[in-house]
Structure 1
Amino acid sequence: MKKNIFPSIQSIQLGFNKIEVTRGLWSVVPEHVPKTLILGNNQENVNRVFAEFSFPFVAKEIRSSMGKGVFLIKTHEQFHEYAEQNPYLYVQEYLPIDRDLRVCVVGNDVITAYWRINQSNSFHNNVAKGAHISFDDIPEAALELVRHTANRLGINHAGFDLVEVDGHYYFLEFNTLFGNQGFQQQGISVEGYIYRYITEMFTQP
């Protein structure tokens, strides 16, 4: 119908599952994506995963959030169990971190960013899994990387998740639907940002 929509069609289609997210990131910032394999599920590809990754590594379901569907694989048995439940194999290298950075984009810019710090010595850094939110020492270089990436991909509503390893930033994923705990703690009205953006963008002659 040639109507403007929000979020953008790129946000909706790329943010639909982790495979599309990763392919989008590969297309514009491949050096900021951890080593990742996306494969059909068959025995040959299972063997390929074991050949290319050492334990531990990470396996993910392609549609999940809040830390669900993300597994730290330490044994052959654990990966076979994952493979039995998933039609695709999505495997990433394990990065030794105790936090990740959530960067929230609405419209053409970042509206907030915060660390999600793992306080329980577990694998997940999600707030839904008990991580602590911190707004301290947010690196501007990471925010600029998100701005650049969102702009290249046409993303105007998403929460980007990054980690820093040895001074280099890696994207884990981005989600069009993301938690609002950071907004609440800062007293930010995301609805206000959305309203201003769509008013400015969609009422232009």
Structure 2
Amino acid sequence: SAAGILQSRDKLRASQILARNRIPIPRTMNVRDVRDVEHAIEAVGGLPVVVKVTKGTQGQGVFLRHTAYEAKSLVQGLLHARRDVLIQEYVAESHGRDVRVIVVGDEVVAAMRRRARGREFRSNFHLNGTVESVDLPEEFADVARRAARVLGLNVAGVDLLEGNDGPMVLEVNSSPGLQGIEMASGVNVAGAIVDHAIREAGYGDVEIDGLLRMLPDEGVATLQVRRHPGLIGRTLKEVFHGEIETFAIARNSHMMWNPEPLTRLRFDDVVLCTGPRTSLRNSVRSAVERCSDPSDEHPLDPGPDEAEV
């Protein structure tokens, strides 16, 4: 859901929800004053600690600090820049590695282990980390499914640390990258996501073998026309102004691949768009806003089946 996406992108809010639902996470403290740093370090188990901002993706805004002085200096700078800051337990046994699990609906569709290179402790694929296939234990799969469920996400990339006492949720991503996990697992994750979106929209079986293979940093967004009355009857050209590539429309249990720009949208259509993952969601929202109808109570609410992946 839209609320789930917002919750997952705020690391503090997500941590609170996960902890409240007894899903294991590293000990975490929110720091609003540099004078609270030493107390926070003690509360999460001592040095070293992970310092992170509450909003950031692909490993950005995440730091490992080995002394209280280093942690204080970093926190002071982040607070001065008006960033919300977390101090988190460092799980030494999982240093430089984690397990990424893709959950679609209530099903685990793919998983991989990520490893950092050299002295880097962040294992993100975009930070030159390596990926490999993993035989996912059921305990890890169960934690991943529960994390996605309590955050209200139909599509989620759940990052798990391999702690001595079992899996711990490090982060839950509402728009996970696909290149690394498709490479490591051999699973067509994009196809699984599109298939789920179409099933949830009430369509029958459709052929999706023609689904485009994902390019680095590319994403897919699904848009249900029925949720946005202002789109009905408009052409793709009128809606997107040629700024977003529409590679398919799900209509009457069939897929219309590469629809013409002058194709008019119908009430039950599900539009599938592709573009740069970092900007695709905002581009789709802008297009919907331009065409919003006064009768559309939530013109910018993407709905439970509309997600960037």
Give me the TM-score of the superposition, normalised by structure 2.
Answer: 0.58
Which one of the candidate residues 54, 58, 63 is aligned to 1:71?
63
**Contact 2:102-2:109 at 8 Å conserved across structures:** yes
Tell me the alpha carbon deviations over residues 149-188 of structure 1, each in whole angstroms, 9 at most, x when there is no partner: 3233322111100011224111101111222121244453
**What's the counterpart of residue 91 of structure 1?**
87
**Higher helix fraction (1 or 2):** 1
- Distance, in Å, in 1 between the alignment partners of 2:40 and 2:146 is 32
Which one of the candidate residues 98, 107, 110 is aligned to 2:108?
110
Q: Are 1:15 and 2:15 counterparts? A: no
**Contact 1:11-1:158 at 8 Å conserved across structures:** no
Distance apart, 1:19 and its partner CA: 1.2
**What's the counterpart of residue 188 of structure 1?**
187
- Distance, in Å, in 1 between the alignment partners of 2:51 and 2:16 is 16
Correspondences of 1:1-205 after superposition (within 5 Å):
8-30=1-23, 32-39=24-31, 41-52=32-43, 53-83=45-75, 84-86=77-79, 87-96=83-92, 97-98=94-95, 99-180=97-178, 181-203=180-202
**One-letter code of the match for 2:21?**
V
- Distance, in Å, in 2 between the alignment partners of 1:51 and 1:163 is 21
**Contact 1:38-1:90 at 8 Å conserved across structures:** yes
Give me the TM-score of the superposition, normalised by structure 1.
Answer: 0.84
Structure 2 gaps of 5+ residues are: 204-309
Distance apart, 1:202 and its partner CA: 2.0
Higher RCO by CA contacts (8 Å cutoff, separation 6 or greater): 1
Change in Cα spacing, 1:51 to 1:177, as seen in structure 2 (3 Å) is same
- Distance, in Å, in 1 between the alignment partners of 2:3 and 2:107 is 16
Change in Cα spacing, 1:63 to 1:132, as seen in structure 2 (3 Å) is same
Structure 1 gaps of 5+ residues are: 1-7
User: Which protein shows a greater Rg?
Assistant: 2
Distance apart, 1:91 and its partner CA: 0.7
- Distance, in Å, in 2 between the alignment partners of 1:93 and 1:9 is 29
**One-letter code of the match for 2:19?**
W
Q: Which secondary structure does the structure 2 equivalent of 1:15 belong to?
A: helix
- Distance, in Å, in 1 between the alignment partners of 2:115 and 2:72 is 30
- The percent of aligned pairs where both chains have the same amino acid is 27
RMSD of aligned Cα (Å): 2.1
